[in-house]
A and B are shown apart, each in its own frame.
Chain A
Amino acid sequence: MFGATALHAALALVPLDRDVQVDLLAAERIDTAGAWALSLLRRRLEQAGRGMTVTGAGETTLAFLRTVDAAIPDGDQPARPRRRLVDGLEHLGRGAAGGVGFLLDLTGYLGLFLARLARSVLHPRGFRLTSLVHHCQEVGLKAVPIVAVMAFLIGVVLAFQGAAQLRQFGAEIFVVDLIAISILRELGILLTAIIVAGRTASAYTAAIGSMKMREELDAMRTLGLDPADVLFVPRILALLLMLPILGLVANVAGLLGGALMAWLELGISPAMFQTRLVEGTGMGHVLVGMIKAPVFALIIGVVGCHAGMQVERDTESLGRMTSNAVVTAIFAVILTDAVFSIFFAQVGL
């Protein structure tokens, strides 16, 4: 096989105007590449009305030559279609239609979740409380450390950067308002949602997707269990319950980090920080932040479950859908946050 290219090139130079005799007596062993090159030569000779005979080969070698010859695909391979402009346009159109279909699909899953949730409320006996508690622990409790540390550090950074700017105007005390408003209104819940999207949307997709790959979902259906009841409702509901709590944790941790830094950097004592916080920052900011939490939770949960259901039988689709779920969830969360900001600015909250 090492000389296959050379052999093929050499045999291409064989003149086609007479019969050819191939003597294999000196060949110890012939491999597939050699047999293939000989078969191609025979075909060319036969097309030119000539023949090829093989001598000096044992019975096994001849059998091998026949096996290879029989396996060579007949005729020319069909030419690969060239890509044209129309194909590009079609591709674009399909992409756009796919995007719209994806949004409709997500809406469908949201509706499915709400319908199943409503049924669970009306018939609480079939509700899966154990599963809900389990997912609350996975999604909520186990995320507390990372969310708290992240928010604490964000508070530290805000205080540090704010202090450097505000000190120029002698307005150090306003660093409290800066920290409080930015964390309570925006950053606390937004960054929590982003972390949860990375942690939980991927976990939902991977769990549901691998169950789908191993036909567990089909097994559920044949046993009369509805995957939406068993898988979606506890997962999305757990997010719905836990994300506001995680957002609160982030708010508290962020304020603590900011207070600590304000104390060390600007000499604003914790007591002064507290007084200024209560006086300068209304409850409205907290409400504006927290009202977004359930919406983010629904987005993350629905995107994660939907992506899990799109996994096919191959492992590659599992990886692709998991990363899709994370990207989609984070993007949708940020987009929604922007829409909320515009809305609140318009209504004057």
Chain B
Amino acid sequence: MTQGAPASLQPEPVIALRGLRNQFGTHVVHENLDLDVRRGEILGVVGGSGTGKSVLLRSIVGLQRPAAGTITVLGTDVLSASDEERKALEARWGVMFQDGALFSSLTVRENVEVPLRAVPGLDPAVRVALADLKVAMAGLLPLAGDKYPSELSGGMRKRAGLARALALDPEIVFLDEPTAGLDPIGASAFDALILNLSRSMGLTVFLVTHDLDTLHAVCDRVAVLAEKKVLVTGTMREMLDVDHPWVREYFHGPRARAALGAASNGQD
């Protein structure tokens, strides 16, 4: 766990996107998109509907092949990596999909065990204990481990999805709309969970969200997707000074002001 590197000594970015271009038929979603994610930070990606936030996440983890550009994650070129390199890389990141994307025929514990099964020489009893541990670290009660995804609420499914994403102690986690569909109490509890886990496990977090409270509460930096590229990146405070119609609307709208007020009250 390397943290607290001096700001002047900029470390190699863990995720580097250069000249990315995604298109579906003639519809271009990303054009000449550049983005760096630094080690240990929580980066929030925001953008209007249809600006390709999820497409961006999917192309980084290799679910969507871009038309052009390079994607480097932890020093590996994702697009030209061999099967072994990809496998090694996949063990170093975890992905949490919007609704958890749990395997519906497995219990929560078995879901978390799935990535652990790939670890050679791991004793089954230890595997079960580690899976239970991850379930607990994601903030679920021990009883939840025996339940099937269909028996869980939306918030619990997200937590179980996070537990599965964290099963192999990844260096990077990708979270797709982690607080969408949660009530405010559940959403702030999830924010706290993300913040706590990322700090204590030294995680780099790539977080796609619409939730202004999440941006205030957990994100070190924010990247704004607009006009088919990453328009601007910076801290929340820097976002307030950006002079672009959509960014102004987003960070100065009534909801943004309420979230900002809540965040500064929380800090006092």
Contact = CB atoms under 8 A, between A and B. Distances in A.
B1 A5 contact: no
Contacts of A63: 199-200
Contact of B136 (A30, A61, A71): A71
B122 interface: yes
Interface residues of B, number: 30
Contacts of B134: 32
B132 A73 contact: yes
A77 B142 contact: yes
B150 A8 contact: no
B11 interface: no
Contact of A64 (B104, B116, B120, B201): B201
B240 interface: no
Nearest to B128: A77
Given A31-B169, A73-B142, A77-B142, A314 B129 contact: no
Contacts of A13: none
Contacts of B105: 316
Helix, strand, loop or mixed for chain B's interface? helix
Given A71-B137, A314-B104, A1 B168 contact: yes
A313 B154 CA distance: 12
Contact of B130 (A33, A58, A66, A316): A33
Contact of B196 (A33, A67, A314): A67
B119 interface: yes
A5 B149 contact: no
A318 to B, nearest CB: 10
Contacts of A2: 119-122
A6 B197 CA distance: 26
Contacts of A8: 123, 126
Contacts, number: 80
Report the interface size class on chain A.
20 to 34
A317 B104 CA distance: 10
B3 interface: yes
Contacts of A31: 169
A29 interface: yes
Contact of B129 (A30, A36, A313): A36
A36 B1 contact: no
Nearest to A8: B126
B133 A315 contact: no
Interface string A311-346: 011111100000000000000000000000000000
A39 to B, nearest CB: 9
A72 interface: yes
A53 interface: no
A5 B202 contact: no
B121 A5 contact: yes
A64 B200 contact: yes
Interface in B161-195: 168-169
A341 B122 CA distance: 61
A32 B133 contact: yes
Nearest to B105: A316
Nearest to B166: A32
Contacts of B126: 4-5, 8, 33
A314 B3 contact: no
A61 B132 contact: no
B85 to A, nearest CB: 18
A171 B126 CA distance: 76
Interface in A40-61: 58, 60-61
A73 B144 CA distance: 12
Interface string B218-254: 0000000000000000000000000000000000000
B104 A316 contact: yes
A68 interface: yes
Interface string B1-39: 101000000000000000000000000000000000000
Given A67-B137, A67-B196, A5 B3 contact: no
A32 B149 CA distance: 24
B114 to A, nearest CB: 14
B142 A4 contact: no
A72 B136 CA distance: 7
A60 B1 CA distance: 8
Contacts of B123: 4-5, 8
Contacts of A313: 150
Contact of A72 (B1, B3, B133): B133
In order of increasing CB-CB distance, the 4 nearest A-B pairs are A314-B150, A71-B136, A5-B123, A71-B137
10 contacts: A1-B116, A4-B126, A5-B121, A5-B122, A5-B123, A36-B130, A61-B1, A64-B200, A64-B201, A67-B137
Interface of A: 1-2, 4-6, 8, 29-33, 36, 58, 60-61, 63-64, 66-68, 71-73, 77, 312-317
Given A63-B200, A67-B196, A72-B136, 5 more contacts: A4-B123, A8-B123, A68-B133, A71-B137, A316-B150
